[in-house]
Amino acid sequence: MARHLITSALPYINGIKHLGNMVGSMLPADVYSRYLRQRGHDVLYICATDEHGTPAELAAKEQGLPVADFCAQAHDAQKAVYDGFALAFDYFGRSSSAQNVEITQHFARKLNENGFIEERAIRQVYSPTDGRFLPDRYVEGTCPHCGYDKARGDQCENCTRVLDPTDLIDPRSAISGSTDLEVRETKHLFLLQSKLQHEVEEWVARHEDDWPQLASSIARKWLNEGLHDRAITRDLDWGVPVPADTWPDLAAEGKVFYVWFDAPIEYIGATKEWSDQDPRNRDWKSWWYDVDTDVRYTEFMAKDNVPFHTVMFPATELGVREPWKKVDFVKAFNWLTYYGGKFSTSQKRGVFTDQALEILPADYWRYFLIANAPESDDSSFTWEHFTATVNKDLADTLGNFVNRVLSFSKKRFGEEVPAGGVPGAAEAALGEEIARLLAEYEQQMEALQFRKAAAALRALWSAGNSYLEEKAPWLEIKTDKDGAALTLRTAMNLIHLYAVVSEPFIPATATAMRQAFSLADDTAAWVPADEAKALSAVPAGTPFTVPPVLFAKLTDEDLAAYKERFGGETAA
């Protein structure tokens, strides 16, 4: 079995993330990791909070906290939400860790030794009002490309174009709002991406045919436009310091590395954190260093992160001239919108993950988000769609099936799986259909096609309902008690199968379904095709209980309350 290294884009530290952020990176990575573990693979799923850069300083200033304290509290708050969503990270680290500082500085020194870093004098925005140089995100203004009036000095949130602060029209300080800005000379380190263009092109060419079209097209667009040398230091109080042994003058000035330089390196840093914290963990380098054919590395991210992971970070890794593991597959997502408008952390538009968990348990959200993941295009979250999906797929198709089978069997046969009856044509046909749908589900999960995988899972649930309607045990029991027992026993085996294969999507519900049966040796991680056809893992005589309602149906009153709290059609 291959070893699988999985990372999802690091959630930024300035506040709880929205549902669009969840479905664009961490949740699908978790679903895939869970599936691979079930299939027997050695999996390491790494993530961390991205803690450096201007927004962290601004958010800390707004709360009146030292930035280190703010980041520590925000990390814990985010981790609590991800625990609530049952994200099964192997390790969730922090980009401000000592390990990331060490490895980032190592990368910088190696790039410098190899001639890919250059110290340059540049002209930078300076605010006399604030008494400091303003790094990119400390400058706001109007995007020269699309006219968006809240563009930041590094990137326009609206059109995603990469910017420099001096590109902005009518720039202003994000600290004080002052428009009294000057341009002064200062020195920074530049990563000479132009010298690495050819190597990055060759590397992308070897991989892009395997990537989703979204990822490969964004990488190719950046390369076609040409890689430009990019400043990788900033004038901030918080960040990975420029090492004094290599650049003493810049270190003395308090320069730190640009957040987009150190953030991807944190995937490696967090793995070292994981290894350092527990000596039983495999040495961190066994996942990252000189392991090109031993480890398959998959990254999950939304489309705005793609260029940094497919071009900038690979350029960094290539330039250090050491055998660091590079990504094999980039699973890129479009955006989940909120009634056609963007979810926005900064503008507090849409449903945020902590709010979602206040309303309903995580499995409601996990299933809906993955079943509607914005893979081929942007997709829109609406409360109407969410309510309809919960009621149809979760409450009716799965939850009602489980409840009616177990409740009816308990009422008519007692609290053990009923004996009697010999499987016939209906059971044989059901077994073939379940095996076929399970193979489809496996195929789509292996291909990281999450919407199609969700459709196959839904079809598995539907097959049980079709079988139950065909056999109608509530009628069958009147004339053929053994036949009704067979039908219910077969349906109970479907419930157990659903518990196993649904675990990546709805882990808490899967556990509840599985625990309904008192199977002493129930250690099955997956359901092989022959077992799916036989549907006999839960034998007659197995004690069972009827779990509480798995999914409550959402009412018109619920829908109205959600729209009143979060907004509906007018949110754009």
Known binding positions for ATP: 345
User: What do you get for the CA distance between the two ends of the chain, in Å?
Assistant: 47
- Identity at 273, one-letter amino acid code: E
Task: Please report, in range form, the residues annotated as the binding site for Zn(2+).
Answer: 143, 146, 156, 159
Task: Pick the closest to residue 93 from 3, 7, 4 (CA basis).
Answer: 7
DSSP conformational letter for 34: H
Q: String of b and e for 3-24 (b: at least 16 CB within 10 Å)?
A: bbbbbbbbbbbbbbbbbbbbbb
d(CA 49, CA 52): 9
CB of 19 closer than 8 Å to CB of 350:
yes
d(CA 487, CA 540): 12
Place of tokens 């046909």: 429
d(CA 337, CA 282): 40
Task: Pick the closest to residue 11 from 65, 103, 87, 63 (CA basis).
Answer: 87
Q: Residue 92 phi/psi, 5° resolution? A: -120, 100
Q: Which two tokens stand for residue 38?
A: 């079930």
d(CA 479, CA 359): 46
CB of 281 closer than 8 Å to CB of 93:
no
Q: Which two tokens stand for residue 268?
A: 């490696």
DSSP conformational letter for 517: B
CB of 189 closer than 8 Å to CB of 242:
yes
CB of 353 closer than 8 Å to CB of 18:
yes
CA angle, corner 229, sides to 310 and 53, nearest 5? Answer: 70
d(CA 492, CA 180): 72
Q: How many CB atoms lie within 10 A of CB 363?
A: 22
Task: Please report, in range form, the residues annotated as the binding site.
Answer: 143, 146, 156, 159, 345
CB of 362 closer than 8 Å to CB of 85:
yes
